[in-house]
Amino acid sequence: AQRVTQPEKLLSVFKGAPVELKCNYSYSGSPELFWYVQYSRQRLQLLLRHISRESIKGFTADLNKGETSFHLKKPFAQEEDSAMYYCALSGSGNTPLVFGKGTRLSVIA
């Protein structure tokens, strides 16, 4: 069974500090991992996916198959990064997305 764990419900950091949002997954096959973000009063939107290896809004995430992790990182947090972040996994063959419970990031000025 697929499972995504985000161990932190809430993460507070100061502006300019590094950010790391943790995501661990459980899946026996080859997963596709995603990070979605939901800003206040906005719809859920894709932040990045591991296969594209992009850096969006300064965020990066590396898939570590050995540790089954896909942590989201940003070197310098900005106030506008405050939002709810969801890690999601899709297995092979058009399987549906499985989401973690989410981490609320609060960036303090």
Partner 1 sequence: KAGVTQTPRYLIKTRGQQVTLSCSPISGHRSVSWYQQTPGQGLQFLFEYFSETQRNKGNFPGRFSGRQFSNSRSEMNVSTLELGDSALYLCASSNLVAGGQETQYFGPGTRLLVL
What are the residues binding partner 1 (CB under 8 A)? Answer: 32, 43-46, 49, 86, 90, 93-102
Shortest distance (Å) from residue 82 CB to partner 1: 19
65 vs 101 by CB, closer to partner 1: 101
Smallest gap, in angstroms, from Cβ of residue 42 to partner 1? 8
DSSP 95: P
DSSP state, residue 20: E
Measured CA to CA, the distance from residue 25 to residue 35 in angstroms comes to: 13
Determine whether 6 is exposed, middle or buried from the number of CB atoms within 10 Å of its CB (0-12, 13-18, 19+): buried
Distance in Å, CB of 101 to partner 1, minimum: 4
Among the listed residues 34, 14, 48, 40, the one whose alpha carbon sits nearest the alpha carbon of residue 87: 34
Nearer to partner 1, 22 or 97 (CB): 97
Helix (H, G, I), strand (E, B) or coil at 74: strand
- Beta-ladder partners of 13: 107
For partner 1, the closer CB: 66 or 93: 93
User: In angstroms, what is the minimal distance from the CB of 104 to partner 1?
Assistant: 12
Of the pair 21, 102, the CB lying nearest partner 1 is at 102
